[in-house]
């Protein structure tokens, strides 16, 4: 039994943590928030220089050719630091889509530039404020040109390319679009967490390239979502741990009625519940990481479980961190709200908790037997 | 990452498996209910099984070689436990002796006592129990009030113990009592072992909310009326009782793990198969939501255990993650039991004439006890907060004063 990361992966995690501690991810997130910057360019360049955008990209395309587990440990540290960079859009989603489904020509064209940072990618699924399904998509493709509107597209203001889920004559396609094309209009949308940015992207007969087979796009996107859900769950676990650490530190230094508030059972039990929720989420993430890295058929169940569990943990830890801080927690000055807002955005970015619970139970329905723990 | 045994572990597992297959029957149904046999029958079968294990060297794997064990590593104990649990064999009788009383005897008893008591304990010939909790000392067990008074070479014990598993069939017990109420609470305690057949000991089974009393490893009240214990049966120095008890309790915390009983597997089977107004229950959205929540908990616990095993497997000390197990599993058990009962709708309260209480009904009745035994939910949250997260202790009203001056009522 070895449900653990390797020493090399743990070393990478430690290096990532030191890097974000030194760079001050939280203050960078705050800077982006206060100045509507969309990303911290300097931090992003350093991440590119470390080679992390190319972790999963095969060596023949100038990447590091590593596995998903390396990505998991970096995701946890990103989540802890709230670093304002387009890592999840570009690395968990865009890059994975190309590695998995694109032809050699596209790979040769794009992958090396993702490693070098010349290309930043993102993805667009949502079109309205409800759950996207294959039948309610309206962005459509006709002879390789796409038209329609995607909303809540993460990082589109700084991305150069985008994977678009679009209706085609054979069903649903994944389409690669160059966002610099003059037919594309991109507008920033207001959102709850301004340390991240979301955009409305309009296509008007925009040229696009097919990724994989026409008509298979919805199957591809489900798999990409399942993969990304595990990585997002690691970010959520990292964020949960940071919120719990903050609550703990404050409960040790804050005095009320002549004693540390952390000595009251009301606070202790709250923090114990945060720890319990975080521990369950982390263990479910390890299961997800195993399924992701071993390309197991259990991935849909494992990713939904990691996702739901981590969503619950981050929501609990971030809201109870505010509560532990009392009035201070409700100020702009304290960092509590950064985690609260990030937890909300991460919990819906790939689809809501309800959507993922439904995926989880759908997988359970297909399971004939469960092995007892 | 993988879930495979190392070659050495696989070899050990195969050895366990081979012996078990030759000596016991595989369980047919993993979640089958226990068939109630009479206590005497159960004890007889359990003792025979223990003797069989002892003769083949499987009885107390973790014990030192000099006492007949093989000094098995934690991972080997886990592997044995995983394999043994797949077979239809009796359990729940010797764990307290082998897990808590044996180690404490090894550490504190004389050589003569060790050679007298340890082998019969391991062979299953003599059963041991643990006499700690008292009516006024549950979570705060160091607040116990049973008295020990010195009389020549003997001690005279008076008082009452409670929640003593198996006292009604035990031959010996380990006991903490107060030898001096005039000094601080934790300093006035002394530790003994006692012959449960001693004159003056009365054992009364406790009738639990399940309606059961004295069946299986049931709980008891144990009364001590002028019970004489020779000083030679003292374990540790006079006044060291708390130190000795803590060692034993640490072993209990490790031993009390998953709440046994209905889990997500059974809830899922029920939801898929049981009809609810013309459709399988699983088609109901509120049922789906519950299944998702329970699966996240059950799966989280399963892989938490795997993380612990992985650390042990590499010879590393496991992290504190296993501390969440009992709180999560006992509460989940209560919810799933409740859900199973509700599936019977207006008639869910009925007990089957032939089969007795269903596993869901049993889970619902038993879960409140599991949320208390071996550390209440509240104590365990304190443990997580203080020992895992490092938060400060609560200020205490029982520090720095004599035990007799500690407030006990308004």
Residue A329 pLDDT exceeds 70: yes
Write down the pLDDT at residue A64.
Answer: 96
Residue B33 pLDDT exceeds 50: no
Contact B394 A264 (CB under 8 A): yes
Are residues B317 and B296 part of one domain? yes
Highest mean pLDDT among A36-50, A253-267, B79-93: A253-267
Are residues B80 and B168 part of one domain? no
* Nearest-neighbour CA in chain B from A365: distance (Å): 8
Are residues B62 and B171 part of one domain? no
Are residues B244 and B290 part of one domain? no
In a domain, B394, yes or no: no
Are residues B152 and B86 part of one domain? no
Which residues constitute the domain of residue B62? 7-91
For B236-358, where are the alpha helices, taking DSSP H only?
Answer: 241-255, 264-273, 285-313, 325-342
Residue A261 pLDDT exceeds 60: yes
Are residues B318 and B223 part of one domain? no
Are residues B295 and B228 part of one domain? no
* Nearest-neighbour CA in chain B from A161: distance (Å): 34
In a domain, B34, yes or no: yes
Helix (H) or strand (E) holding A171: strand A171-178
Smallest Cβ–Cβ distance between B395 and the set A5, A259, A269 belongs to A259
Regarding beta strands B234-235 and B220-230, do their DSSP bridges make them parallel or antiparallel, or are they unpaired? unpaired
Report d(CA A230, CA A303) in Å as an integer.
5
Which 8-state DSSP code applies to residue A52? G
Residue ranges of A 227-246 with Cβ closer than 8 A to chain B:
244
Q: What percent of chain A has pLDDT over 90?
A: 94
Smallest Cβ–Cβ distance between A357 and the set B289, B301, B321 belongs to B289
Report d(CA B156, CA B175) in Å as an integer.
13
Residue A373 pLDDT exceeds 70: no
Contact B385 A271 (CB under 8 A): yes
Which residues neighbour A203 within 8 Å (Cβ) at sequence distance 6 or greater?
A: A139, A146, A147, A148, A149, A150, A164, A177, A183, A184
A356 and B288 Cβ atoms separated by less than 8 Å: no
Smallest Cβ–Cβ distance between A4 and the set B298, B310, B380 belongs to B310
Write down the pLDDT at residue A38.
Answer: 85
In a domain, B387, yes or no: no
Give the domain-ending residue among B39, B74, B91.
Answer: B91
Residue B206 pLDDT exceeds 50: yes
**pLDDT, tens digit, 9 for 90 and up, residues A107-155:** 999 999 999 999 999 999 999 999 899 999 999 999 999 999 999 999 9
Q: Predicted confidence band at B68 (pLDDT cuts at 50, 70, 90)?
A: confident
Are residues B243 and B266 part of one domain? no
Specify the range with the lowest mean pLDDT, choosing from A22-31, A68-77, A324-333.
Answer: A22-31
Report d(CA B321, CA A279) in Å as an integer.
6
Residue B312 pLDDT exceeds 60: yes
In a domain, B381, yes or no: no
Contact A1 B310 (CB under 8 A): yes
Of the candidates B293, B129, B291, the residue with the CA atom closest to the CA atom of residue B219: B129
Contact B391 A267 (CB under 8 A): yes
Write down the pLDDT at residue B70.
Answer: 87
Smallest Cβ–Cβ distance between B299 and the set A271, A276, A305 belongs to A305
pTM for the whole thing? 0.94
Contact B296 A312 (CB under 8 A): yes
Write down the pLDDT at residue B32.
Answer: 42
B321 and B313 Cβ atoms separated by less than 8 Å: no
Q: Domain with B333 in it: what CATH number?
A: 1.20.140.10
**pLDDT, tens digit, 9 for 90 and up, residues A25-58:** 899 999 999 888 888 999 999 999 999 999 999 9
Write down the pLDDT at residue B31.
Answer: 46
Residue ranges of A 145-164 with Cβ closer than 8 A to chain B:
none
Contact A305 B297 (CB under 8 A): no
Residues of chain A with CATH 1.20.140.10: 218-366
Report d(CA B189, CA B144) in Å as an integer.
9
Q: Predicted confidence band at A277 (pLDDT cuts at 50, 70, 90)?
A: very high
Contact A372 B291 (CB under 8 A): no
* CATH fold label, A7-116: Butyryl-Coa Dehydrogenase, subunit A; domain 1 (1.10.540)
Smallest Cβ–Cβ distance between B394 and the set A244, A263, A358 belongs to A263
Write down the pLDDT at residue A144.
Answer: 96
**pLDDT, tens digit, 9 for 90 and up, residues B357-381:** 999 999 999 999 999 988 899 999 9
Q: Domain with B246 in it: what CATH number?
A: 2.40.110.10
Are residues B275 and B202 part of one domain? no
Strand segments (E) across B111-259? 128-131, 147-151, 154-162, 172-178, 189-195, 201-205, 220-230, 234-235
Average pLDDT over residues B211-230: 86
B139 and B376 Cβ atoms separated by less than 8 Å: yes
Average pLDDT over residues A14-22: 96
Are residues B66 and B134 part of one domain? no
Smallest Cβ–Cβ distance between A283 and the set B2, B258, B307 belongs to B307
**pLDDT, tens digit, 9 for 90 and up, residues B252-278:** 555 445 667 789 999 999 999 998 888
* Number of domains chain B contains: 3
Length of chain A: 373
Is A279 strand, coil or helix?
helix
Are residues B264 and B185 part of one domain? no
Please provide the average confidence, as pLDDT, over all residues in chain A: 96
Average pLDDT over residues A180-202: 96
Specify the range with the lowest mean pLDDT, choosing from A189-203, A234-248, B74-88, B208-222.
Answer: B208-222
Report d(CA B247, CA B386) in Å as an integer.
18
Are residues B353 and B319 part of one domain? yes
Smallest Cβ–Cβ distance between B303 and the set A248, A272, A284 belongs to A284
**pLDDT, tens digit, 9 for 90 and up, residues A334-369:** 999 999 999 999 999 999 999 999 999 999 998 876
Which one of A5, A264, A271, A272 would you mutate to disrupt binding with B, by most B Cβ within 10 Å of its Cβ? Answer: A272
Q: Which residues of A touch B293 (CB under 8 A)?
A: 357
Average pLDDT over residues A295-302: 95
Residue B250 pLDDT exceeds 80: no
Contact A5 B1 (CB under 8 A): yes
CATH architecture of A121-215: Beta Barrel (2.40)
Neighbours of A35 (CB within 10 A): 9
CB pairs under 8 A between A and B: 166
Interior CA angle at A285 toward A282 and A289, to 5°? Answer: 140
Contact A275 B393 (CB under 8 A): no
Q: What percent of chain B has pLDDT over 90?
A: 71
Helix (H) or strand (E) holding A208: strand A198-211
Average pLDDT over residues B2-27: 93
Q: With DSSP H G I counted as helix, E B as strand and the rest as coil, what are the percentages for chain A, rounded to 5?
A: 55, 15, 25
Report d(CA A344, CA B85) in Å as an integer.
43
Please provide the average confidence, as pLDDT, over all residues in chain B: 91
* Superfamily in which the A218-366 domain is placed by CATH: Butyryl-CoA Dehydrogenase, subunit A, domain 3 (1.20.140.10)
In a domain, B49, yes or no: yes
Contact B288 A358 (CB under 8 A): yes
Q: How far is CA A109 from CA A65, A112, A118, in A?
A: 17, 7, 12
């Amino acid at each position: 039994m070895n449900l653990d990361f390797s020493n090399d992966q743990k070393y990478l995690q430690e290096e990532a943590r030191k890097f974000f501690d030194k760079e001050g991810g939280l203050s960078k997130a705050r800077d982006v928030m206060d100045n509507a910057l969309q990303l911290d360019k300097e931090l992003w360049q350093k991440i590119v220089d470390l080679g992390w955008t190319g972790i999963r990209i095969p060596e023949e395309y100038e990447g590091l050719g590593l596995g998903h587990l390396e990505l998991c440990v970096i995701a946890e540290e990103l989540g802890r630091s709230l670093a304002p960079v387009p890592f999840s859009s570009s690395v968990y989603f865009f890059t994975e889509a190309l590695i998995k489904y694109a032809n050699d020509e596209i790979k040769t064209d794009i992958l090396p530039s993702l490693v070098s940072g010349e290309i930043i990618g993102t993805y667009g699924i949502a079109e309205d404020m409800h759950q996207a399904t294959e039948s309610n998509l309206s962005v459509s493709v006709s002879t390789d040109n796409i038209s329609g509107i995607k909303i809540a597209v993460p990082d589109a203001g700084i991305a150069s390319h985008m994977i678009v889920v679009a209706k085609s004559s054979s069903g649903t396609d994944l389409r690669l679009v160059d966002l610099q094309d003059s037919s594309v209009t991109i507008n920033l949308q207001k959102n709850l967490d301004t340390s991240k940015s979301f955009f409305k992207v309009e296509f008007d007969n925009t040229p696009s390239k097919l990724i994989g087979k026409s008509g298979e796009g919805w199957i591809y996107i489900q798999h990409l979502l399942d993969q990304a859900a595990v990585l997002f769950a690691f970010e959520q676990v990292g964020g949960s741990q940071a919120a719990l650490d903050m609550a703990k530190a404050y409960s040790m230094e804050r005095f009320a009625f002549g004693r540390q508030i952390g000595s009251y059972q009301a606070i202790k039990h709250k923090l114990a519940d945060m720890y319990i929720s975080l521990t369950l989420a982390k263990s479910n993430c390890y299961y997800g990481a195993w399924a992701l890295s071993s390309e197991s058929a259990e991935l849909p169940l494992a990713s939904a479980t990691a996702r739901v569990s981590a969503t619950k943990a981050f929501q609990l830890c971030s809201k109870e961190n505010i509560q532990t801080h009392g009035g201070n927690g409700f100020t702009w000055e304290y960092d509590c709200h950064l985690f609260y807002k990030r937890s909300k955005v991460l919990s819906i970015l790939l689809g809501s908790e309800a959507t993922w619970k439904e995926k989880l139970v759908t997988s359970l329905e297909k399971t004939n037997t469960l092995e007892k723990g | 990452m993988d879930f495979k045994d190392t070659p050495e572990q696989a070899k050990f597992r195969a050895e366990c498996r081979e012996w078990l297959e030759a000596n016991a029957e595989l369980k047919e149904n993993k979640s089958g209910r226990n068939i109630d046999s009479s206590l005497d029958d159960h004890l007889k079968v359990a003792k025979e099984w223990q003797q069989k294990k002892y003769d083949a060297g499987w009885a107390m794997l973790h014990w030192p070689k000099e006492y007949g064990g093989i000094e098995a590593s934690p991972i080997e104990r886990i592997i044995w436990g995983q394999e043994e649990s797949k077979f239809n064999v009796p359990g729940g009788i010797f764990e307290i002796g082998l897990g808590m009383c044996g180690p404490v005897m090894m550490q504190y008893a004389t050589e003569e006592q060790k050679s007298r008591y340890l082998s019969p304990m391991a062979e299953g010939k003599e059963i041991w129990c643990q006499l700690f909790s008292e009516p006024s000392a549950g979570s705060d067990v160091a607040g116990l009030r049973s008295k020990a008074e010195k009389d020549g070479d003997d001690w005279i014990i008076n008082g009452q113990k409670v929640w003593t598993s198996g006292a009604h069939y035990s031959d010996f017990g380990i006991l903490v009592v107060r030898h001096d109420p005039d000094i601080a609470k934790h300093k006035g305690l002394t530790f003994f072992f006692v012959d449960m057949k001693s004159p003056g000991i009365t054992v009364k089974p406790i009738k639990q909310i399940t309606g059961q009393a004295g069946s299986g490893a049931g709980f008891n009240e144990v009364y001590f009326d002028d019970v004489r214990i020779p000083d030679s049966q003292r374990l540790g120095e006079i006044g060291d009782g708390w130190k000795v008890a803590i060692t034993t309790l640490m072993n209990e915390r490790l031993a009390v793990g998953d709440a046994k009983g209905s889990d997500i597997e059974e809830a899922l089977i029920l939801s898929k198969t049981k009809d609810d107004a013309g459709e399988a229950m699983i088609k109901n959205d509120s049922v789906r939501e519950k299944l998702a929540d329970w699966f996240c908990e059950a799966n989280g616990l399963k892989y938490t255990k795997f993380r612990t095993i992985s650390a042990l497997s590499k010879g590393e000390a496991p992290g504190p993650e296993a501390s969440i197990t009992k709180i999560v599993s006992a509460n989940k058990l209560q919810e799933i039991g409740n859900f199973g009962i509700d599936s019977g709708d207006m008639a869910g309260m009925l007990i089957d004439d032939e089969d007795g209480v269903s596993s869901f009904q049993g889970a619902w009745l038993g879960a409140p006890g599991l949320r208390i035994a071996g550390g209440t939910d509240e104590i365990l949250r304190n443990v997580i907060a203080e020992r895992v997260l490092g938060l400060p202790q609560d200020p205490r009203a029982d520090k720095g004063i004599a035990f007799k001056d500690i407030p006990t009522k308004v």
